Structure 1
Amino acid sequence: MTFYRTTRLMLSSAAILSFANSAFALDGNDLLKKINDAYAQQGGSIAAESIDISGTTVTLKGASVKAAGTTDGVKVGDITLTGVAEAGGGYTVDQIAFPDVATTKDDVTIAASDLKMSGVEIPADATKGDLDSLLLYKTAHAGSLSFTKDGTKVFSFTDADATLNKRADKSGLDFNANVNGITADLSKVADPQTKEAINQLNLQQLSGKIAMKGSWEIAPGRIDITEYSLDFKDVGKLNIALSLSGYTPAFSKSLQDALKTVRSNPNQQDAQQSAGLAMLGLLQQLTFNSAQIRFDDSSITSRALEFAGKQQGVSGKQLADTLKAMTPIMMAQLNIPELQNAVSAAVSAYLDNPKSLTVKASPDKPVPLPMIIGAAMGAPQSIPQVIGLKVSSND
């Protein structure tokens, strides 16, 4: 009797466990659909030949990715998602790992390794227009990447990392990214004039890094890019900062819809005209807060002056003196005395001792973008006052 009771208990337990596993098994097709719903907001899609599920691991077998503006998908192989869990109709994924890339086309070989994303959130509804409707990740990483042509590695970087921090109150995101160990080989350039310029400027081998940092507040659509820098050895560091408001999820969707319309229209001339009108309408929603472009020299300026001066039969110092004399004359044509004086003083100081050159626009209060466009078209001399334009050097 005990034997039969034990047997029934074991069979009942097995049935319950079987039912539970069936009830809580991941739906791979729904997972891929929700990924595509979110990715489609950027105009792309992911396809898979089959979907394999093992516990909380989902593998998209034979996956291909079609990016915005392309007609054919690119085969990437198996994409592995580990630690997948349902979350409020959407999904969370501990890590998404992509296969290494090694492909050759037109004698150019592209190789990339260790591609992965961690802490991924896949939304249940990608159309709500809030932070929860976005496909987000906490970290993204790429190992080495290289482009090789005819046996020569023309471009590469050692690694790249990006992070997204979703604020606890869901008001926005903070982000940063770094691309390290960049190298570019310009020594094989074929055009004689370009090759001469590269040699004279000592740019045969470039090495450097790229960095980006900023934030996005969802409700006002305020994007603050505090750093977008390209820093190359023996050249210099170019850093761009920009702040705009009005770039909301709704604005982003309208922008993507306009681009989709252009790509789907077989008559590209009509499509581009329509897109131009659509863009003008969208720009009405944006507000300019501030911007800055700064260049910190690392010897490229003196080499450029020497090279350009040699083309004209003068020394770099003589060319610099000529440029200092010409700047006030050229600026006078704008009929903006205050800007003329500031630019002339900045250029003169920079050419005498190249350290840094900064162009900054910081209005007293945010300016609607259409107002800036209107000023540029109707009264360009008013632009410095409208956007608070200032130029300085060596500060």
Structure 2
Amino acid sequence: MIKTTGLLATTGLTTLALMQPAMALDAETFVNRVETVYKAMGYDLSFGAATLSGDTITVDGVTVNVPGADMEPTVLDTELTFSGVVENDDGSYFADSLTVPDIDMEFGDDHVGHLTLVDMVAEDLWLPPEGQTSADVLLQVVGRMATGPLTLSRDGVEVVKIDGMEAASEFAYDDNDALESISSSLSISNIWADLSTVGEEEPEAGAVIAALGLTTVSGNITQSIDWTMADGHLAVNEFLLDFADIGALNITADVAGFTPAMLDKIYALQSSDLDPASEEAQAKQMMAGMEIAQAMTISGLGIRYDDAGLTPRLLDMFAAQSGADRGAFVEGLKTMLPAMIAESGIPALGDLVVPPVSAFLDDPRSLEVAVKPATPTSVLVLAAAASNPASLIQALGLSVTANQKSK
């Protein structure tokens, strides 16, 4: 059973029930609930004054702090608008959307920077009843977040543009309305950047950019994840960075054991009042790390790079710097490669790495590193096998391939 709104997803109410009169709203109680819920996830939020008009709650800014993080609190000094807010009979809240005014600001000293970001929205927001902050509940608090175009200019010249960003989740439930699985997607579309001015601040980096013909870059970032709650099976189907005339880097994963119960332990560490540098905090982190390593199993991991012109340009650049032509430079690299791998002290890596990397240097099309154990294997077992690199390679089912079609 699939439900796409946070309200239906988490309260289990039918459409008819939702049409019944909602409880009287209180703006301060609502924002206090937001603070409580996000504190359980490791965020310390402090909202400004909140006012209510019909089913709309307007908040005068927010300060965001992440305890334990080495960074100053982020102050968002602007109006936040929660629309379509209702309080349900069980004490939970639902809001159709949270919107933030468009950003149009200048910054910088030596150079004038100008940032614009429009159409920021979070939709299908749900806050559980008071006291309910378990991980399976917190996973459902936002259905979708998105923005419109972003532009960043330097001294009046555009240097970065993005058409839009979107992150969305679809929740599935069992017959008892318990969360069964989540399908999530991420998209950052039509990224464009002008790197021609990098050399003004970093001459060496600018020279490399010019030599590689990367004065402008463009591409997209996409991600797709499926996650089932009962066994903690997390499948990263795609995490793809795809840039024109450069290449595509895709990361995939297939792991199990990452359950809401495990996430509860992580949230507990994040929200702890202990000093992160204290012995007690470090001991708890170590214990939690051991539990996670024992519980999580790996069925597969993969990193694949499909070249779209970057590697030949890199080889040409390094060859020119060495005073050789590209063919001679590549042959030199291939000759040195076995000795370089031997320095790792893991002889088994030689036969695994040298042939495919040599093939990629000769004909740069694709290079893929994959982990595929014969059976799902716990992270703790793999960590123990690390004392014998040859056995670790076998346990991982490690492979390196070049110029093969994507499966």
TM-score range with shorter-chain normalisation? 0.7 to 0.9
Task: Report Cα offsets for 1:134-183 as digits up to 9, x if no partner.
Answer: 34333221112234444444333110112100013221200001001111
Q: What's 1:159 paired with? A: 164
Aligned-residue CA RMSD in angstroms?
A: 2.7
Task: Report Cα offsets for 1:86-117 as digits up to 9, x if no partner.
Answer: 23321121122122223444444443211002
Work out the number of aligned pairs and report it.
371
Q: What's 1:142 paired with? A: 147
Q: What's 2:83 paired with? A: 82
Kindly indicate whether residue 320 of structure 2 is the aligned counterpart of residue 310 of structure 1: yes
Is residue 155–residue 184 contact of structure 1 (8 Å, CA) maintained in 2?
yes
Choose 228-237 or 242-251, whichever is displaced more. Answer: 242-251
**Which TM-score applies when normalising by structure 1?**
0.84
Distance, in Å, in 2 between the alignment partners of 1:84 and 1:260 is 27
SS of residue matched to 1:240: strand
Q: What's 1:171 paired with? A: 180
Q: What's 1:66 paired with? A: 64
Q: What's 1:8 paired with? A: none
Q: Based on CA coordinates, which of the two structures has the bigger radius of gyration? A: 1
Matched ranges for 1:2-41 at <5 A: 24-41=23-40
Is residue 346–residue 392 contact of structure 1 (8 Å, CA) maintained in 2?
yes
Choose 130-139 or 235-244, whichever is displaced more. Answer: 130-139
Matched ranges for 1:217-228 at <5 A: 217-228=228-239
SS of residue matched to 1:354: coil
SS of residue matched to 2:359: helix
SS of residue matched to 1:363: coil
Q: What's 1:184 paired with? A: 193
Kindly indicate whether residue 401 of structure 2 is the aligned counterpart of residue 392 of structure 1: yes
Is residue 116–residue 151 contact of structure 2 (8 Å, CA) maintained in 1?
yes
SS of residue matched to 2:254: strand
Identity %: 27
Distance, in Å, in 1 between the alignment partners of 2:304 and 2:137 is 36
Distance, in Å, in 2 between the alignment partners of 1:366 and 1:110 is 47
Distance, in Å, in 1 between the alignment partners of 2:267 and 2:51 is 32
Matched ranges for 1:90-105 at <5 A: 90-105=92-107
Identify which of 211, 218, 229 aligns with 1:207.
218
SS of residue matched to 2:40: helix
Identify which of 277, 286, 302 aligns with 2:286.
277
* Alignment-mate amino acid for residue 252 of structure 2: A
Distance, in Å, in 2 between the alignment partners of 1:391 and 1:183 is 32
Identify which of 328, 332, 356 aligns with 1:346.
356
* Alignment-mate amino acid for residue 157 of structure 1: I
Choose 112-121 or 65-74, whichever is displaced more. Answer: 65-74
By how many angstroms is 1:194 displaced?
1.4
Task: Report Cα offsets for 1:284-303 as digits up to 9, x if no partner.
Answer: 33222210000010010000
Choose 92-101 or 44-53, whichever is displaced more. Answer: 44-53
By how many angstroms is 1:43 displaced?
1.9
Change in CA separation of 1:286 and 1:250 when aligned onto 2, cut-off 3 Å: same
Is residue 223–residue 245 contact of structure 1 (8 Å, CA) maintained in 2?
yes
* Alignment-mate amino acid for residue 361 of structure 1: V
Distance, in Å, in 2 between the alignment partners of 1:84 and 1:55 is 9
Higher-RCO chain (CA-CA 8 Å, sequence separation at least 6): 2
* Alignment-mate amino acid for residue 311 of structure 1: Q
Distance, in Å, in 2 between the alignment partners of 1:380 and 1:365 is 19
Stretches of structure 2 that go unaligned for 5 or more consecutive residues are: 1-19
Change in CA separation of 1:365 and 1:241 when aligned onto 2, cut-off 3 Å: same
